[in-house]
Amino acid sequence: MHVLVVEDDGKTAQWLRLYLEQDGLRVSTVADGPAALAAFDNDRPDLVLLDVMIPGMNGFDVCRAIRVGARTPIILITARAAEDDRLRGFDAGADDYITKPFSPREVVARVRAVLRRAQPNSDTADSASIVLGSLTLRPDALVMEVGATSVKLTPVESRLLAVMLGVPGRGWTRAQLVARVMGHDFDGNERTIDVHVKNVRRKLDGLPQTPTLPRIETAHGLGYRLTCEV
């Protein structure tokens, strides 16, 4: 499988290539935003490992541009670990977020985990539409709809909503949601799921507010549950 590394620091790009190639992956590297988009269009890699602070066009904008027409997994790398920065990354369409400093083995493990989650035989990657109350989720198109109004979702948000819509009323712990949405081999903080839930809630608020629109509630002492008045 082919990984595109977008990193303007030559030494970091070199050791990322080394460790990923040692794990059996094919790797190409570029050093700025415009070159990243050109390489993506020409090579269509299986995953993009994308530093946020790159010249020409920052990583958030590169991520958004790729997401316009592709579902290719994207992992953002940044030294900024604040919640607002993570939210911005996931809003841009990132599948995962690695903060500096990090170990080479962590990067390889995250890349492998995201590639596995992206495989079409994943139990959360069903392309069939899911309908509950007034909401329709179309995982194949990464959108949710109420009537004629639709809102785009990231791949992670789509998987999260699909899992919760499948069992309305069930309480989920963060660990359970991480396992179902991110994969059992996800090596990050399970609090990452809070960011995705916050984004899905905000996008649900942007749809027409019908009486039967599903809601994600906080289940105190547990985690989250999706409810719907039908």
What residue ranges define each of the domains in the chain, with the CATH number in brackets? Answer: 2-117 (3.40.50.2300), 130-227 (1.10.10.10)
- Name residue 155's amino acid: P
Beta strands (DSSP E) in 147-206 are: 149-152, 171-173
Q: How confident is the model at residue 123 (pLDDT cuts 50, 70, 90)?
A: very low
Q: How many CB atoms lie within 10 A of CB 8?
A: 17
* Whether the Cβ atoms of residue 160 and residue 135 lie closer than 8 Å to each other: no
Q: Give me the pLDDT at residue 192, please.
A: 82
What pLDDT is attached to residue 49?
97
**Calpha distance 134→155 (Å, rounded):** 21
> In this predicted model, what pLDDT tens digit does every residue of 74-119 receive, in sequence order?
999 988 766 777 778 888 889 888 888 888 888 998 899 888 877 7
- DSSP label at 100? S
User: Which among 55, 93, 104, 99 has a CA at the least distance from the CA of 78?
Assistant: 99
Residue 183's pLDDT band, with cuts at 50, 70 and 90, is confident
Cβ pair 34, 58 in contact under 8 A: no
Higher pLDDT, 55 or 87: 55
- Sheet strands side by side (includes 143-146): 130-132, 135-138, 143-146, 149-152
How far apart CA 60 and CA 66 sit, in angstroms, is: 10
Tell me the three state secondary structure of residue 218.
strand
Query: Of 170, 167, 192, nearest to 181 (Cα)?
Result: 192
> What single DSSP character describes residue 107?
H
Q: What is the pTM of this model?
A: 0.73
Q: What is the pLDDT of residue 14?
A: 94
pLDDT for residue 125: 43
Q: Is the distance from CB of 213 to CB of 207 less than 8 angstroms?
A: yes
The arithmetic mean of pLDDT across residues 28-51, rounded, is 96
* Mean of the per-residue pLDDT values of the chain: 88
Which pLDDT belongs to residue 187?
62
